[in-house]
Amino acid sequence: MERYELIAPCHFGLEAVLKKEVVDLGYEVTEVENGRVTFIGDAEAICRANIFLRTAERVLLKVGSFKAVTFDELFEATRAIPWEKYLPKDGKCWVKKASSISSKLFSPSDIQRIMKKAIARHMQEYYDLDRMPETGNEYPLRVFFYKDQVTVGIDTSGESLHKRGYRQMTSKAPITETLAAALILLTPWKADRILVDPFCGSGTFPIEAAMIAANMAPGMNRSFLSESWTNLIPKKCWYDAIDEATEMVDDTVKVDIQGYDIDGEVIKAARENAERAGVDHMIHFQERPVAQLSHPKKYGFIITNPPYGERIEEKKNLPALYKTIGERFKALDSWSMYLITAYEDAERYIGRKADKNRKIYNGMMKTYYYQFMGPKPPRRKTGDQVEA
């Protein structure tokens, strides 16, 4: 089976998490850049990456890379790509998105127009056509310009991979599924430890945690654009990847995952989302304010995305809110807390400096992932097993 370069974009600051996921899937990573990981894989890898990667935004099939500082250079370099290797005669191919950083060519509409013309010219010449029929499957391109170096990839995913298919109802400031999964994977949390999200909104953190605990592949209940690309990916590759994902699920695992929110309607939506994800039996959702956050057991985890005052009128409430978070966390003996927020005074009002602080871009918004580490639980023996 032919091997390709595949590109998986992700949130800026979370490349190391995605790299580990790709390596764990068994693929060779060739490059890690800001916001993306490149690796080598065949048609089967395209299916498995789309179905199994929790933290990638999409999977792109890299078809070319070149330097272009003029539109003439862009046209000729695009035209030189062997498009017939990737597109059927009737395929519809266009630049869906073009981004440009520190490059001479920066107008998305001009880039889209020039590249579309170059692809059509190549295909017309190769197939001896007067015009491209474009009546077949879609092959949308994503193009990155960085310091005049152009990278061209065909989007195999279609809708972004954060759309797992379970979240129809969202709260006011939802965190994406891919970002939530990455933030959980950055912690030492495991299925045998308690996890509480006191600002759970539509339930993304608890649901992603439950899916991780149950070894449930995030993409097993959705479709992907490249499923129809039988010229590149045999149907059997998709069937095999889904069979592999299905066999790995263990939703009987015992967990203590809880989600609280002050808004009862939001909690109702979170329960419905969890049911669609197939993990509603693994999560306890409850209408409860953060001031009532408590738990009788030790060594638990808080992983949460509290409000950070996107609107001016909300900002005045933040000192009191973060002070309450700090007080409730302090009362939870031996717990750890992982909190993502754009509120720059978070540590001040929580009343403790974070052990670690990671800068992460949530879209265009700069946020901080504050990590307050609790002690590790003592190792204990249960039968023949030693647990941490």
Q: Say if residue 271 is in the same domain as residue 329.
A: yes
Our CA dihedral for 284, 285, 286, 289, rounded to 10 degrees, sits at 110
**What's the rounded mean pLDDT across residues 367-374?**
97
Q: Kindly state whether residues 193 and 340 are assigned to the same domain.
A: yes
Chain-wide mean pLDDT for the chain?
94
126 assigned to some structural domain:
yes
13 dihedral zone (left: phi>0; alpha: psi -120 to 50; beta): left
The predicted model gives 362-371 an average pLDDT of 91
Query: Is residue 74 included in any domain, yes or no?
Result: yes
Spatial contact of 152 and 62, defined as CB atoms under 8 Å apart: yes
Whether the predicted pLDDT of 385 surpasses 80: no
Domain boundary among 122, 155, 188: 155
- When divided into structural domains, the chain yields a total of 2
pLDDT attached to residue 220: 95
The 10s digit of each residue's pLDDT in 260-299 is 999 999 999 999 999 999 999 999 999 999 999 999 999 9
Q: Is residue 227 part of a domain?
A: no
Please name which of 354, 358, 357, 349 lies closest in space to residue 374, comparing C-alpha atoms.
354
Residue 171 has pLDDT above 70, yes or no: no
pLDDT at 331 over 50: yes
Task: Say which CATH number the domain at 65 has.
Answer: 3.30.2130.30
Q: Output the DSSP codes for 167-231.
A: --S--SSPPPHHHHHHHHHTS---TTS-EEETT-TTTHHHHHHHHHHTT--TTTTS--GGGG-TT
What pLDDT sits at residue 386? 47
- Domain that includes residue 332, residue range: 177-218+232-387
Query: Is residue 119 located within the same domain as residue 24?
Result: yes
**Average of per-residue pLDDT across 371-376:** 96
- Among 155, 185, 207, give the residue marking a domain's end: 155
Per-residue pLDDT tens digits for 109-118: 999 999 999 9
**What is the dihedral sign for C-alpha 222, 226, 230, 234?**
negative
Whole-angstrom distance, CA of residue 234 vs CA of residue 223: 15
> Are 112 and 213 members of one domain?
no
Q: What is the mean pLDDT of residues 242-247?
A: 98
Per residue in 8-41, pLDDT tens? Answer: 999 999 999 999 999 999 999 999 999 999 999 9
CB distance 143 to 103 below 8 Å: no
Q: Say yes or no: 118 and 196 in one domain.
A: no
Cβ contact 125:66 at 8 Å: no
The CA distance from 359 to 339, in Å, is: 12
Residue 170 lies in a domain: no
Answer yes or no: is 312 within a domain.
Answer: yes
Pair 259, 361 in one domain: yes
Q: What φ, ψ does residue 193 adopt, rounded to 5°?
A: -110, 150
pLDDT higher than 80, residue 187: yes
Instruction: Give the pLDDT band (50/70/90) at residue 169.
Output: low
% of the chain at pLDDT higher than 70: 96
Output the pLDDT for position 153. Answer: 98
* Structure token pair of residue 326: 């700090």
Question: Which of 71, 5, 46 shows the shortest CA–CA distance to 240?
Answer: 46
In a domain, 276, yes or no: yes
**Widest pairwise Cα distance in the chain:** 74
Query: Residue 1: pLDDT above 90?
Result: no
pLDDT band at 388; cut points 50, 70, 90: very low
96-146 pLDDT per residue, tens? 999 999 999 999 999 999 999 999 999 999 999 988 899 999 999 999 999
| DSSP-assigned letter for residue 374 | P
- Are both 202 and 133 inside the same structural domain? no
pLDDT average, residue stretch 343-348: 95
